[in-house]
Amino acid sequence: MSEQTNLNQKIAELDKKVEWFHSDDFKLEEAVIKYKEATKLAKEIEKDLNELKNEIEVLSQDFTK
């Protein structure tokens, strides 16, 4: 599995978690748990994006030499 596929899957999963808050399945009792899950996943996505950004910057430097 490539990094991009994994990242795309995480983003899709985060979208589903966020959609839950707007769905008929929303239950206040579960909201805190779902919010924590979504926050954790968002942090993972942010970390993955930063790693990709760093990799792109390194590759860009190699091309400018």
Section 39-55 average pLDDT = 94
pLDDT band of residue 1 (cuts 50, 70, 90) is low
Q: Which run of H or E residues covers position 36?
A: helix 28-64
Helix and strand numbers, DSSP H then E, in the chain: 2, 0
pLDDT of 57 > 90? The answer is no
- Tell me the pTM: 0.76
pLDDT of 64 > 70? The answer is no
Lowest pLDDT segment from 11-15, 18-22, 32-36, 61-65 = 61-65
